Amino acid sequence: MDHTSELKLSIVLSTHQAQFEAVAFKGDLEANLAKVAGWGYSGVELAIRDPDLVDGEVLDGLLRRYSLRVPAIGTGQAWGEERLSFTSPDRAVREAAVRRIKRHLPLAHHLNAFVIIGLIRGVTPPGQSRTESMKFLIGCLQECAEAASVEGVCLAFEPLNRYETDLVHTVSEGLELIRQVDANSLGLLLDTFHMNIEEPDIEESIQRAGENIYHFHVADSNRWYPGAGHLDFRKIFKALYSTGYTSWISGEFLPAPNADSAAELAIKTLTRMLTSENSQ
Ligand code: LER
Ligand code: MN
């Protein structure tokens, strides 16, 4: 396994201050981009609550200055900060969530980035059945996927662990959801932190997801940087690349012991794991 010729390593960075914890860098965009590039990452995954708050020209200039690409745009802050969701019992909230995802599409098209559908799926509220939540979720995804196709963008749906949502925890459930939405622009984002909690066999699940894997998040078992927990990333990457995956590995982990050390240790560990002399 030698991917050194084209190491596509990125890290999640929030364009603005945010509450979500597993993002090492928030706030001061230029300072953060400079640091990320300095450590050797070639990409930044941008977590954006509201794309209307992002100045595209300023962003373009900064990405050029630091030679960084954007593999994906994270959208979960619209849930974390504003409670927008695809499964709200309130139609107006669901419509606002769909509108928000659609607003991400022009920037995603411009950056050639996936739009992530993670936490914005929401949770089943008291008094609503899971069946109803899934019906709302599928309807919202169909609308977003259609708009994404028109814009030439793909959506990456992320199975999340049971402590964050009651809806779609596993690769199997993710694949079934994709089948039901039935849109070419929809694939999966797999996250090793969630897989460690929910999948019976991480490597087998990765292989089963196969060409439906559009994007990949890494954090260790404790949601620290890869190498700080007990996940076997060599086995995980072997399974991932055996599916034909050629896209990005994106670090989404806690700023522990602090953001800078986590980012630096992550890229060192990932680079070592992905070079031939160190992989089995
Ligand atoms: C949330 O736990 C997560 O993994 C993010 O990628 C949410 O979109
Ligand atoms: Mn994730």
What are the distances in angstroms from CA 234 to CA 30, 62, 217, 223, 240?
33, 33, 15, 17, 10
What pLDDT does 278 receive? 46
159 lines ligand 1 (CB under 6 A): no
- The CA 220 to ligand 1 mean position distance, Å, reads 14
Q: Which amino acid is at 60?
A: D
Catalytic positions, please? Answer: 158, 252
DSSP assignment string, 180-214: HH--TTEEEEEEHHHHHHH-SSHHHHHHHHGGGEE
Q: What is the pTM of this model?
A: 0.95
Query: Which residues contact residue 65 at a Cβ distance below 8 angstroms, ignoring those fewer than 6 apart?
Result: 33
What pLDDT does 5 receive? 61
Q: Is 58 exposed, middle or buried (0-12, 13-18, 19+ CB in 10 A)?
A: exposed
d(CA 68, CA 269): 20
- The CA 252 to ligand 2 mean position distance, Å, reads 6
43 lines ligand 1 (CB under 6 A): no
| Residue 167 · residue 122 · CB < 8 Å | yes
pLDDT tens digit at each of 280 positions of the chain: 555 567 999 999 988 877 777 666 667 899 999 999 999 999 999 999 999 999 999 999 999 999 999 999 999 999 999 999 999 999 999 999 999 999 999 999 999 999 999 999 999 999 999 999 999 999 999 999 999 999 999 999 999 999 999 999 999 999 999 999 999 999 999 999 999 999 999 999 999 999 999 999 999 999 999 999 999 999 999 999 999 999 999 999 999 999 999 999 999 999 999 986 445 4
* Residues bordering ligand 2, an ion, CB closer than 5 Å: 191, 217, 252
Q: Collapsing DSSP states into helix, strand and coil, what is residue 150?
A: helix
| Residue 170 · residue 162 · CB < 8 Å | no
